[in-house]
Structure 1
Amino acid sequence: MTVPSGTDDRSAAFVDHLTGFVDELRRRGIDVGPSELIDAGRATEVLGLGDRSDFREGLACTLLDDVNHRTVFDAVFDLWFPAGARAAADVADTPRDAEGAVDIEAVRERLAELLADDDAAGDGRLAASVSLIVDELGSYQSTRGQAFSTYQALSRINPQTLIARIAAAMAAGSGGDGTDARYRRAAAGRVAGLRADVEAETRRRMAETRGRDQVAEYAVPALPENIRFLSAGAREQAELRRTVAPLARLLASKMEIRRRRSHRGAVDVRRTLRASMTTGGVPIDLIRRKPRPGRPDLVVLCDVSGSVSGFSQFTLQLVYALRQQFAKVRVFAFVDTVDEVTDYFDQSAGNDDFGASMAAMLHRARLITRDGHSDYGHALQGFADDHLDALSRRGALLILGDARNNYHDPRFAALTRLVDRSRHAYWLNPEEARLWDSGDSIAEQYAQIITMFEARNAAQLGRVIADLLPV
């Protein structure tokens, strides 16, 4: 990282560069105001640029107000303030086999020793090995010239298999047992750090070769709240789950404010007219009835088939985080047959094992009695026939699903019965609106009966729930 010398020109150039970095964070969806940018400049004056790690933490402390945005911040930081070129390993010292190729097993042995050594990171030996991995194992020739691949480098090293060796080496230094969970956790953490170092070095090399803007298109992940439910992998779903608690707190405060504002009570006409006698019969002061606030009921009917199970699990977890805002929450799930599953989630509402409750529900509840494909019509008809008493004029119905009915009978009359029975009824669809009614989707037809909203990611879902759920 280039350190400005203190001259006016270089200081101005650094300020422009810092401002560009902040603009890039804003383009990625991170809210950074002018005051935060000023604080970042002041933090830089105090910390200086001599230690890149301190500089990174100083910017993170002043520019971020959501810890879930840290992954995006770090990726953008690495592109705008890249580390200097890592010390290259001595070519003559690179372990090779008889044919001159890199000896993978020897490299893995060296990595295990370095990762177990607390001093290896500080003296540059680990950095040199990371440089070797990217140079020798992650490099390949693409149609546009030399390129580097984190996946290629790590797949050949397979660092996950080094955990046992690292743990044993760490334990040997203190006379312990390498199978001890403490050492294995520490070893796993160092392997994760190695992965991060290889990813960062690969991004740096690619940015040098292709340019920062092009690398940013694929190297910077989406904010957790902007990850699409239907395309999220296991790692992205873990990021999504970390957004549930802060999102629930925000929504709860918004709903409480709405409740306070809406519970003013209706105008008491009789008392208002009596009071108007003092003003010649003109009702200047409106007298309202004393409000009788009550929390509404909420019924959730959700498709838990494979295509939308991630969306349903996230939404259910969010709803349960908000359960104190409702008098009662009842959950009904279906694939092709509907069943009440409230008990499964009531048991996990106070802990972090929501995924286990979802798995237990999928395994034990009576959700499939036909062909195992989503059948909204059969589920809606079953709910109308067996569970209609769960709905009331003082509560809300929330349906979750993509409305892809696999060409079964849609049973529009059953959905109409549910909507008529509820005070509020909404449908949240995780697909883009432009895809509704494509293929086997009948979303637009259902939307003529019930108000349907697009909820592709956590940000959209939060806005919809905050605006729609009754208070």
Structure 2
Amino acid sequence: MNLLDRTVTFTAALRRAGIPVSTAETVDAAAAVGALGWLDRDAVRAALAATLCKRPLYRPAFDTLFDLYFPPRIGDGVSLEDPQADESGNGAPGEDPATEPGELTPEDLETLRRALRDELRDALRDGDDESLRSLARRAVNAFGSAPGSSGRSWFLYRALRAMSAETLTADLLTILLGDEERGGLAERAARQTIADRIRSFEEMVAAEVRRRMAEERGIEAIERTAVRPLDDQVEFLRASQRDLVELRRQVYPLARRLATRLTARRHLGRDGRLDFRRTVRASLATGGVPVETKHRPRKPHKPELVVLCDVSGSVSSFAHFTLLLTHALREQFTKVRAFAFIESTDEVTRFLRGVDVGDMMARISREANLVYYDGHSDYGRAIEVFAERYSDAVGPRTSLLILGDARNNYRATSATVLRQLCAQARHSYWLNPEPRAYWGSGDSASEIYAELVDEMVECRNVDQLQQFVERLLPS
């Protein structure tokens, strides 16, 4: 496969990872690389990123796939860029030849491990990226492989455990701080620097493991697991703690983007309905020909919003993010009221005002009256409590938004009560974080509730949530 074919294959991989790449952008990428040439790998990476990545969100996936499709080395360390590398696979002069782990005794491996850790400490101290890359390659070759049923298997955990970079922090602090007093700003800065360098080294090790696995099994087999879902494609119900931190970061930028789009829509459609009388009067100046039409002033409608949200453990991450986004968009509505439920319902609007993102859900769980009997979701009782205590919250200007997976533990649905609430509201929507294929299965009451609201919407990630909010916001 020549480099042009590899570029086309690479852009196809980007599309499979969820990064939108058009045919025109593929042509632009090929032209940019053609102008720069292929001798400088970093320049090629920058050129492809500039032409193919429209948003910073796409860059992590882009870099992972670039390293798979355009690796800097092959095999045990032969550089694709170094013209001095010989055909025997020994790399450039000064590069240590690869050593098969099976040829070393346990004592030799321990000696090698200690030597590599000493080099790692020095490289982390100096922030020498080139040395860190070389150490990552040698560590994976020595400790990250094991014989498999066909060829060799590669393991990230083995290489990281052998190097134990995080255990070097104390030594590095002593070296970097010297006789300076501990506990101050200098130590915090040094700790952050060390942590960043260790994380960078671990990413280099992970990239080297992926490269070796791709050579053994094929790129296509590895790319499916190597590339994490884009942040706006991460499913709420499967989000890890790291994913949740990133989702929280997206709340206010997402709200700003939505508000900007809303403002643009209003400017484009600021003219109201045709004012026939003023149009006829204006046409008298042009001999009765209505050259310019006149319109009534447009009165933007800002609805009230009532959010009824399941915050039980199974959907807490979804509820957390959605409540935060609702709070961030509150200026787009006349009034916003939020209610949470598990078995019972309580108003939680007070927890959204000037809220600290980290403890909002903790305060709701601790202070709101949400549990009645056993702490398992009871949509029927929650709906009845809401209708009994807060029925005045839903009126003819209200958009009622219900958030939850509708898994009711085979309890009563209170469908009649919800039907009355939906009839009182201007609009009623239900956002369900489960895949549509799961609706109605097991203890899910989705099919029953879907018939009562105006629309039940699949909302598994930020992208789907953004599409829905754009529809919900007044235009």
- TM normalised by structure 1 equals 0.84
Residue pair 2:120, 2:135 contacting (<8 A) in 1 also: no
Alignment of 1:205-224 (within 5 A): 205-224=212-231
Judged with a 3 Å threshold, the aligned counterparts in structure 2 of structure 1 residues 199 and 15 are, in CA distance, closer, same or farther, namely: same
Q: Does 1:295 align with 2:295?
A: no
Q: Residue deviations 1:413-434, cap 9 Å, x none?
A: 2211221121011000000111
**How far did 1:20 drift?**
2.2
121, 124, 147: which one aligns with 2:129: 121
Q: Does 1:194 align with 2:205?
A: no
Judged with a 3 Å threshold, the aligned counterparts in structure 2 of structure 1 residues 147 and 93 are, in CA distance, closer, same or farther, namely: closer
433, 458, 462: which one aligns with 2:462: 458
CA distance in 2, matches of 1:460, 1:469: 15
CA distance in 2, matches of 1:363, 1:204: 47
Alignment of 1:67-86 (within 5 A): 67-85=56-74, 86=77
Amino acid at match of 2:428: A
Q: Secondary structure at the match of 2:126?
A: coil
**How far did 1:52 drift?**
2.6
Q: Residue deviations 1:7-29, cap 9 Å, x none?
A: xxx9xx32332222222212322
Worse-matched range after superposition: 191-200 or 256-265: 256-265
Q: Secondary structure at the match of 1:29?
A: coil
Amino acid at match of 2:431: L
Amino acid at match of 2:466: G
**How far did 1:360 drift?**
2.2
Amino acid at match of 2:398: G
Q: Residue deviations 1:169-204, cap 9 Å, x none?
A: 2333xx645750010000000110111001100011
Residue pair 1:115, 1:190 contacting (<8 A) in 2 also: no
CA distance in 1, matches of 2:249, 2:296: 43
Amino acid at match of 2:137: S
Equivalent in the alignment of 2:175: 169
Equivalent in the alignment of 1:54: 43
**How far did 1:51 drift?**
3.5
**How far did 1:312 drift?**
1.4
Q: Aligned Cα RMSD in Å?
A: 3.4
Worse-matched range after superposition: 296-305 or 35-44: 35-44
Question: Following TM superposition, where does structure 1 have runs of at least 4 consecutive aligned residues deviating by more than 6 angstroms?
Answer: 272-278, 283-287
Judged with a 3 Å threshold, the aligned counterparts in structure 2 of structure 1 residues 209 and 16 are, in CA distance, closer, same or farther, namely: same
CA distance in 2, matches of 1:421, 1:141: 68
Judged with a 3 Å threshold, the aligned counterparts in structure 2 of structure 1 residues 111 and 369 are, in CA distance, closer, same or farther, namely: farther
Equivalent in the alignment of 2:373: 370
Q: Residue deviations 1:351-408, cap 9 Å, x none?
A: xx42322222222222223211111111111111111112221121111100001122
**How far did 1:237 drift?**
2.6
Amino acid at match of 2:468: V
CA distance in 1, matches of 2:72, 2:341: 51
Residue pair 2:137, 2:208 contacting (<8 A) in 1 also: yes
Amino acid at match of 2:216: T
Provide the identity percentage: 39
Q: Secondary structure at the match of 1:387?
A: helix
- TM normalised by structure 2 equals 0.84
Q: Does 1:229 align with 2:232?
A: no
Alignment of 1:200-349 (within 5 A): 200-260=207-267, 264-265=271-272, 271=277, 289-348=296-355
Worse-matched range after superposition: 386-395 or 104-113: 104-113
Judged with a 3 Å threshold, the aligned counterparts in structure 2 of structure 1 residues 151 and 245 are, in CA distance, closer, same or farther, namely: farther
Judged with a 3 Å threshold, the aligned counterparts in structure 2 of structure 1 residues 214 and 105 are, in CA distance, closer, same or farther, namely: closer
**How far did 1:233 drift?**
1.2
**How far did 1:163 drift?**
2.6
Judged with a 3 Å threshold, the aligned counterparts in structure 2 of structure 1 residues 89 and 18 are, in CA distance, closer, same or farther, namely: same
CA distance in 2, matches of 1:220, 1:356: 31
Q: Does 1:150 align with 2:156?
A: yes
Amino acid at match of 1:468: L
Q: Does 1:434 align with 2:433?
A: no
Worse-matched range after superposition: 329-338 or 424-433: 329-338
Equivalent in the alignment of 1:18: 7
**How far did 1:437 drift?**
1.2
Q: Does 1:65 align with 2:54?
A: yes
Judged with a 3 Å threshold, the aligned counterparts in structure 2 of structure 1 residues 144 and 243 are, in CA distance, closer, same or farther, namely: farther
CA distance in 1, matches of 2:275, 2:35: 63
Q: Residue deviations 1:91-128, cap 9 Å, x none?
A: 5999x887444369726742552343326433x4x334
Amino acid at match of 1:427: W
Judged with a 3 Å threshold, the aligned counterparts in structure 2 of structure 1 residues 93 and 143 are, in CA distance, closer, same or farther, namely: closer
Where structure 2 has 5 or more consecutive residues not aligned to the other structure, the ranges are 78-94, 285-289
Amino acid at match of 1:200: A
Where structure 1 has 5 or more consecutive residues not aligned to the other structure, the ranges are 1-9
